[in-house]
Amino acid sequence: MAVPNLAMNAIPAVQFDAELIRKLTQQGPRYTSYPTADRFNGNFGVGDYLQAVNSVRAMGARNPLSLYVHIPFCEHLCYYCACNKIVTKVRSKAEVYLTYLKREIDMQGKLFEGMNTVEQLHFGGGTPTYLNDAQMGDLLAHIRKWFKFATDDAGEYSIEIDPRTVSAARIRTLREQGFNRVSLGVQDFDPDVQKAVNRIQPEEKTLEVIQAARDAGFRSISIDLIYGLPKQNLITMNQTLNKVIAANPDRISIYNYAHMPALFKSQRRISEDELPSGETKLDMLSLCIRRLTEAGYVYIGMDHFAKPDDDLAIAQRHGRLHRNFQGYSTHADAEMVSVGVSAISAVGSTYSQNDKTLEGYYERIEQGELPIVRGTKLSLDDVLRRIIIQMLMCNFELSIRSLELAYPISFATYFQQELAKLKELEALGLLKLDSEWLTVTAKGRLLIRNICMVFDRYLNMPQEIKLERMKYSKTI
């Protein structure tokens, strides 16, 4: 693939056009994968995954690994949360889970023997810091028995943290255990908003954890925020932004709260009367973009902002940015091996997902097999469209010429139907299109999901053969 136009990407810009957003917002995938996870099927099993690993080995195993570990437990229920989690204060459940998790790691470790160098590790959940120091240390030691890790300066080793669950001493221990990046869930600093979503998190506690991470030598500190929560308004959002900007994190993610109580039971505890209107949400998004860009953050894409000297911003400028199930990543070529309940792996030209229930997860491991219950093998068409969507999501442009050199297609012929839709988006000012390049404009960057949806074959199937769709969140 061609190197992106670095002059254009040197200072990524985004333009907020409220009228255009109102006109075009719709439900659509976030494209952490293509095909998206709702397209996975139960016909894909352990045998297909083993075949994918063997294919990677046969090709010389040139790529490093990205390892994801899912810790599903939380001590408290946050009403907005749509993650796969288990809310419990019964700590013995974590001990049982770790026993099975280590057995899955054993199986994956044997499969990847000889091609087991890890350059990226991510602990997600749930709340990974639900585990205590001893449990975390033991789990990491077990992982290191099977996998070789790149040096601290070369590897990216991150963990999601609930600031309510850690002390400054715990932060230092996590750094000593090998983590060099930390992501903190904040959501909102306003006490009334916190009460409405059942996440009471004092500002002082969050700032203490941020400072502790700096003192401990973490390479990157990220903060997660949500707009559209109950009792939020422009005033409270601006006050939260003041505090976040003053805290000076390296990365900031601002997610749009998707209220889908039919799908997520915990959201039924949120009073819909207290949710901000659609117009207010748009105003909050505009405020976030303006405040963060004025504060010097670069708009990476989707919900992500980063300092210009952060690895994400650097990777984007050099065309090395990637997108996977954890969001944006700097390790584009890594095979992704995921362990734990509900975890999704991306190995070779396949996706595979573990059982979503503890009972099913445990039962399959007891049978001595990987707990994979569904997935998909990518066709050549899937691979081609995945590349296009990745390039657009990460770099906001696509070299048509490079795509035609890499694949035996004529872009204008192969994507004849898509080009008609792209012309419509071009007329609206979302992109520029010629025979050589598809370039997303500053207006189009916020609506990048809409542009990518043009290339999603599954969304554009005739109604009678279209696969059943899950209810996606709105693109804005």
Q: Which residues are annotated as a binding site?
A: 68, 74, 78, 80-82, 125-127, 160, 187, 199, 224, 258, 344
Q: Please check whether residue 459 is in contact with residue 450, taking contact to mean a CB–CB distance below 8 angstroms.
A: no
Known binding residues for S-adenosyl-L-methionine: 68, 80-82, 125-127, 160, 187, 199, 224, 258, 344
Non-local (6+) Cβ contacts of 156 within 8 A are 119, 120, 121, 180, 181, 311, 329, 330, 331
DSSP notation for 164-188: GG--HHHHHHHHHTT--EEEEEEE-
Known binding residues for [4Fe-4S] cluster: 74, 78, 81
Non-local (6+) Cβ contacts of 308 within 8 A are 296, 298
Q: Please check whether residue 215 is in contact with residue 177, taking contact to mean a CB–CB distance below 8 angstroms.
A: no
Rounded distance between C-alpha atoms, residue 415 and residue 395, angstroms? 20
Record the tokens describing residue 320, joined without a space: 């090395």
Give the closest residue to 224 by CA, choosing from 319, 142, 157, 127.
127
DSSP notation for 336-385: EEEESTT-EEEETTEEEEE-SSHHHHHHHHHTTS--EEEEEEPPHHHHHH
What is the CB-side half-sphere exposure of residue 27 using CA atoms within 13 A? Answer: 9
- Cα angle: 337, vertex 338, 344; to 5 degrees: 110
Q: Please check whether residue 343 is in contact with residue 355, taking contact to mean a CB–CB distance below 8 angstroms.
A: no
For residue 7, report the phi and psi dihedrals to the nearest 5 degrees: -65, -40
Q: Please check whether residue 159 is in contact with residue 183, taking contact to mean a CB–CB distance below 8 angstroms.
A: yes
Rounded distance between C-alpha atoms, residue 22 and residue 404, angstroms? 35
Rounded distance between C-alpha atoms, residue 206 and residue 223, angstroms? 10
Greatest distance between any 2 Cα atoms in the chain: 61
For residue 255, report the phi and psi dihedrals to the nearest 5 degrees: -95, 145
Buried b (16+ CB within 10 A) or exposed e, 422-432: beebbebebbe
Record the tokens describing residue 422, joined without a space: 């792209």
